[in-house]
Amino acid sequence: MSKDILNILGVKVAPGESSTITFEVAKLHTRNTLAVPIIIERSKKSGPTVLMTAGIHGDEINGVEIVRQIIAKGINKPKIGTIICVPVINVFGFLNMNRLFPDGRDLNRVFPGSANGSLASRVANFVMKEIIPHVDFVMDFHTGGADRFNAAQIRIIQGDEKLNELAHVFGAPFIYYSKNLNKSFRNACYNAGVPILLFEGGKSFNIHSPITNTGVNGAKRVLHHLGMLNRKFKVSKPKSNVIIIEESKWLRAKYSGMFKATIDINSFVKKGDVLGHITDPYGSFNYFVKAPNDGYIFNVNESPVIYQGDAIFHISTKLEA
Ligand SMILES: [Zn+2]
């Protein structure tokens, strides 16, 4: 539970107060300062402290839009406890329209970071040292890389009861069991004993309303579950039952060519069903991509041009009963 006075970077925020603290990362090469705003809302009543983050990858705009809506609608003003929002952690990548830091580092592979490391490593260190110690629970919003469109899903490790409960409350169409990657933010939170739900949905450089709605509604359900959601907000039931994916595989393109998926994301397909086709520009080649097994399609590559070996569909191979 949070202490009475929250102190981040020497700025004190008392119960009942709001504050936007700016973390000044490093100057741009033009010597302009660059700030990461940390938006804090505290209720007078004590309660948990929830952190909502996005933009660890600078190209994952859907995630940023979800946290933006949460702030714009006032969902981050809690009935009890404290909500901290950091909509754009990798502000360098966001500015440069790039997933990574200017030196090519992936912020999500340098956690927990260090004070004297690379720029990305310093940002990770800041998050772990200044913010995470105050936090009881995290929701981190991501999107699929490049043109690979992710179905809305919560990623958690298998066998963690608390995470399972919260992931079900969130109510995204899928829960996908995936291991904590070494040096990821998720792994660093796990090692710090702070539960984290990782949301994935949509693709890079894209704002997709059904995906952002799923993210915002899920966050509201979790806040409601924790007793933190302001009374003025209604909580809707998830549209469908949550499907739990235990195992999955990526289908990779057998040929280079032009690509068009014909199956809708979130669909359940039978072995042998046509999922899409790979063609050439000259009208002489048409290869039908077929499902290798029964399963749910929870990622579809939306790139119109692909190379042999590119990941084109993510399909479940084992569901939890
Ligand atoms: Zn990401």
3-state secondary structure 189-227: HHHCCCCEEEEEEEECCCCCHHHHHHHHHHHHHHHHHCC
Predicted pLDDT of residue 1: 43
What is the 34 CA–ligand 1 centroid distance (Å)?
A: 21
SS3 245: strand
Give residue 71's identity as a one-letter amino acid code: I
Reading the chain (321 residues) residue by residue, the pLDDT tens digits are: 445 899 998 999 999 999 999 999 888 889 999 999 999 999 999 999 999 999 999 999 999 999 999 999 999 999 999 999 999 999 999 999 999 999 999 999 999 999 999 999 999 999 999 999 999 999 999 999 999 999 999 999 999 999 999 999 999 999 999 999 999 999 999 999 999 999 999 999 999 999 999 999 999 999 999 999 999 999 999 988 999 999 999 999 999 999 999 999 999 999 999 999 999 999 999 999 999 999 999 999 999 999 999 999 999 999 998
Cα–Cα distance for residue pair 249/296, rounded to 1 Å = 11
Q: Measured between alpha carbons, how far is residue 208 from residues 73, 93, 212 in Å?
A: 18, 20, 6
Predicted pLDDT of residue 99: 94
What is the 229 CA–ligand 1 centroid distance (Å)?
A: 26
What is the 250 CA–ligand 1 centroid distance (Å)?
A: 18
What is the 70 CA–ligand 1 centroid distance (Å)?
A: 19
Q: How many residues in the chain?
A: 321
Predicted pLDDT of residue 180: 95
Give Cα 164 to chain centroid, integer Å. Answer: 17
Burial of 220 (0-12, 13-18, 19+ CB in 10 A): buried
What is the 106 CA–ligand 1 centroid distance (Å)?
A: 9
State the DSSP code for 76: T
Phi-psi region of 124 (alpha: psi -120 to 50; beta: other; left: phi over 0): alpha
H or E element at residue 167: helix 161-170
Q: What is the pTM of this model?
A: 0.96
Give 142's strand partners. Answer: 200
Report the 10 Å Cβ neighbour count for 233.
14
Residues within 5 A (CB) of ion ligand 1: 57, 60, 142
Burial of 37 (0-12, 13-18, 19+ CB in 10 A): middle
Q: Could you tell me where the beta strands, DSSP code E, fall in 10-136?
A: 11-13, 18-24, 35-42, 49-54, 82-86
